Structure 1
């Protein structure tokens, strides 16, 4: 075991302190196994080549529409392991000792603020790019407990950084679910909206460009590193965790496999298809962008759409409603989502031009199911712009007008002040920030000034103060409550079907009695309409 590798170090207060820090993360037992497998029996240290091999990735089986980015990433991943080991794990002539191994893990995966994680990620990215021959203009000023980032990045370099983070997340999830049996061979997602979001937040307000048809790999704009740093922490705060998750999964799931002869990190030749996921509004890239803004069980559920498997049923198991398959309209929608009491993600694809020139996609995440009410409801939620530019607007906490969903009233003949029929998010009744009519034909987007529930920000590029009305093309609803919420909904639907069948049953004995039949009553009334009849009570 690594803990007994050096009795002198075992008595060291410094070692006890480092072990205590690592133990607080719950990873100490697995790291002891990893050190035992990787370390040399004579030197009691991990040879550098063995540790670097743990973080090597084979990029050959990845496919991407970004040809230039793919070639650069393929070269960079050959230097990734070296950059990680040199940055996190100091070594001597024998290799990496047990205490240095724990220090490196604590530096990358220990409990700290998000800005520190992000600084580590940027430094690894800069070091890997330099070793691969693609130097970036990033400077780092080290302090005792902090690091200041300076310089700038081009949009294509931001794209490269984000794709690396997606691969980190994909690898971490795959290793965790398959316990070290890595499955590779999938397509890199389109994350251009995320890159354009960084561009939009970093450039001056007077330099706003046309984001509809922008090719991020060809944009020649210097984005200040400090602004990128702030954008990442505010818009996609979970991005900073990608590197820590990757290092943790590589040491705790890949290295500790039972078969020591299979400790090579080369990938398998499996090729899970993501075609079914890419045909929906919630593509891998959009799902991953949303996952970078949420935590907990919702993150686990949406990750199924981020990294699709080769089983189409598994990829779409959380899909509750799709207008192109289930039919447009509030009634069709309600028959699919009623009874689901869990987090829901609604996506709307629309455009002001009926020919779909310049279409956009917005979304809303709620922490509960939809209810048929005449008032707003909800506790927390977020609004998203998913295309062409990503934007995340969480609830501000000032008001609770998060969700509005109202069907046609039943059993009411006349209402002097009828409530709007449709689905809405934010704003107030009659002045909603997002409102979609009951036919799912039109959606109205209003300026954030009408809304105190969600954070300020534009949902559409170049959105002005006037309301924007657009034609709805597609609507999707994804359930993110897991198997429990889906099981409760299934029980609810079975119960409702049973009640419906019972109401449809006909009492044949009464129906066969001529004296009690409606036909006899009608004939008697027609033959003598003025006859006095006693009212039965």
Structure 2
């Protein structure tokens, strides 16, 4: 074999190792383009200011529902990312350090390491913005223990930064308006999971900004891993998207400045149950194609929300029949949301408390008198967010049963309605056929979904609530829509064919139904052969 010539440049072992790691993720060509766009041709290094501008999220802010410190945090996002992941040389960031910085953030690591990196970045941003934090890392290791505590305001700021990175990843071209959604349901989830509030916590009338409860860092890490395991992915996705945008030939660095982008506004008031904040909370609980579909339709300014709406009781009418006409034939994941309230508003001593629960199914609805399904997840969405994935013990995921078509006597008729979890007669969630009432039972009767209260202060007794709205969102993409449209067209064709009467069949008197009725009336006791 021929030996390499002396004219070929020698590649160091450090560069080979860094490029091998980046190549395993498929990002090496993109990094080469980004480096060539950002690097100074004289020094062959990327200036720190240029790289900070690449990762910055410089946008002006207007709104009243966000703390004053939030815009300051965004101002330090780019510099903190560069300081956290890149080691500069004298002239800037060399190619080897450029690739190494990408590998630190975006290479395949465990979930705990990804979360550790996210919290480190947030602490670095907070320190740069002079926002005091009470978190300490035991060492510089990527998976070291985190000590200290967070306050509810800190959790809100951390989730807001993650939302901005998710939005930036989905809107890498800078299109659309960025509105910070309502994230109180997630903050209340952290508070109820990580802290014991003396005298209890009224989640319906709680002002998060006034709470001074301490949330231990260890419990917060546990909450993220168990409730929103995809939250650390926001950092990796944003990091990759900004470098990919820099590598694009159609994007100039000027497009990354604040002069070319829209303002941050307060959350737009939507009529849907599924707001952007609730959709994002559901998306970061799923590591499947559902995550991608929710993010595509709802995170990017909510532009695709109407296309994914399959059923809404206020639009399409209440009742199981109207519901069935909309969901039948949709072979893909469906998200069902129920907005209701418990308590009798007519009673003076009773409080009508509003809440939102939901269920995510991975299969289409079927008219059966038994439970079915292979996977799913229950959600407590408002006022507190919690997720209840499957346990793997039973498969009573979905129950959807309509009235039998024939009038057949049933000694023990099966319940008519829609249900999730539990058993027949003891469903964890049961919606009646009129879509007027929903019954929520204690998790002890359900072995399909994980335990936990779907409603705050639920107790052991069943809770019956009045339904104000039901929404069904399709998360199967364009393929599921096309399949459902084909199914509906086929059903319409069959219905039209059944309506047509073949007159030739009744042309002969001997075969006519009138002749048959006359014979039966003249001699009803006559023995006749039964046609089968």
Mark yes or no: TM-score above 0.5: yes
- Please say if 1:160 is aligned against 2:157: yes
Residue range with higher mean Cα deviation, 130-139 or 390-399:
130-139
Contact 2:59 2:263 in 1 (8 A): no
Q: What TM-score comes out, normalization by structure 2 length?
A: 0.91
What CA deviation, in whole Å up to 9, does each residue of 1:62-107 have, x standing for no partner?
A: 555524x2x3221221111111111111112211111111111111
Contact 1:346 1:477 in 2 (8 A): yes
- Please say if 1:229 is aligned against 2:217: no
Contact 1:54 1:255 in 2 (8 A): no
Residue range with higher mean Cα deviation, 206-215 or 34-43:
206-215
- For residue 399 of structure 1, what is the aligned residue in structure 2? 394
| Mapped partners of 2:487, 2:416: distance in 1 | 24
SS at match of 2:307: coil
**In 2 relative to 1, CA 297–26 (structure 1 residues): closer, same or farther, beyond 3 Å?**
same
- For residue 335 of structure 1, what is the aligned residue in structure 2? 325
| Mapped partners of 2:253, 2:428: distance in 1 | 59
- For residue 185 of structure 1, what is the aligned residue in structure 2? 177
| Mapped partners of 1:88, 1:251: distance in 2 | 13
**In 2 relative to 1, CA 437–267 (structure 1 residues): closer, same or farther, beyond 3 Å?**
farther
- For residue 66 of structure 1, what is the aligned residue in structure 2? 65
Q: CA deviation at 1:185?
A: 2.2
- For residue 50 of structure 1, what is the aligned residue in structure 2? 50
Contact 1:407 1:422 in 2 (8 A): yes
What CA deviation, in whole Å up to 9, does each residue of 1:124-152 have, x standing for no partner?
A: 11111111121211111225452221111
What CA deviation, in whole Å up to 9, does each residue of 1:448-503 have, x standing for no partner?
A: 11111111111010110111111111111111111111111100000000011111
- Please say if 1:417 is aligned against 2:416: no
| Mapped partners of 1:56, 1:345: distance in 2 | 35
- For residue 195 of structure 1, what is the aligned residue in structure 2? 187
- Structure 2, unmatched stretches of 5+, are 1-6, 346-350
SS at match of 1:183: coil
Q: CA deviation at 1:264?
A: 3.3
Contact 1:287 1:305 in 2 (8 A): no
Q: CA deviation at 1:215?
A: 2.0
- Structure 1, unmatched stretches of 5+, are 1-6, 176-180
- Please say if 1:468 is aligned against 2:463: yes
| Mapped partners of 2:524, 2:203: distance in 1 | 79
**In 2 relative to 1, CA 11–53 (structure 1 residues): closer, same or farther, beyond 3 Å?**
same
Matches within 5 A, 1:250-269: 250-260=242-252, 262=254, 264-266=256-258, 268-269=260-261
- For residue 166 of structure 2, what is the aligned residue in structure 1? 169
**In 2 relative to 1, CA 267–163 (structure 1 residues): closer, same or farther, beyond 3 Å?**
farther
Q: How many corresponding residue pairs?
A: 519
- Please say if 1:346 is aligned against 2:341: no
SS at match of 2:457: coil
| Mapped partners of 2:100, 2:91: distance in 1 | 17
Matches within 5 A, 1:500-515: 500-507=495-502
SS at match of 1:87: helix
Q: CA deviation at 1:303?
A: 1.3
- Please say if 1:326 is aligned against 2:316: yes
| Mapped partners of 1:63, 1:445: distance in 2 | 41
**In 2 relative to 1, CA 464–19 (structure 1 residues): closer, same or farther, beyond 3 Å?**
same
- For residue 491 of structure 2, what is the aligned residue in structure 1? 496
- For residue 483 of structure 1, what is the aligned residue in structure 2? 478
- For residue 178 of structure 1, what is the aligned residue in structure 2? none
Q: CA deviation at 1:364?
A: 0.4
**In 2 relative to 1, CA 46–530 (structure 1 residues): closer, same or farther, beyond 3 Å?**
closer
- For residue 348 of structure 2, what is the aligned residue in structure 1? none
**In 2 relative to 1, CA 30–225 (structure 1 residues): closer, same or farther, beyond 3 Å?**
same
| Mapped partners of 2:161, 2:151: distance in 1 | 16
Contact 1:435 1:444 in 2 (8 A): yes
Q: CA deviation at 1:307?
A: 2.1
Q: CA deviation at 1:224?
A: 1.1
- Please say if 1:289 is aligned against 2:286: no
Matches within 5 A, 1:422-437: 422-437=417-432
Q: CA deviation at 1:207?
A: 5.3
**In 2 relative to 1, CA 216–511 (structure 1 residues): closer, same or farther, beyond 3 Å?**
farther
Q: Which residue of 117, 137, 140 corresponds with 1:140?
A: 137
| Mapped partners of 2:388, 2:525: distance in 1 | 69
Residue range with higher mean Cα deviation, 347-356 or 366-375:
347-356
- Please say if 1:129 is aligned against 2:129: no
| Mapped partners of 1:387, 1:360: distance in 2 | 5
| Mapped partners of 1:338, 1:106: distance in 2 | 46
The alignment's C-alpha RMSD in Å is 2.8
Contact 2:310 2:474 in 1 (8 A): yes
SS at match of 1:386: strand
Contact 2:379 2:454 in 1 (8 A): yes
Residue range with higher mean Cα deviation, 298-307 or 125-134:
298-307
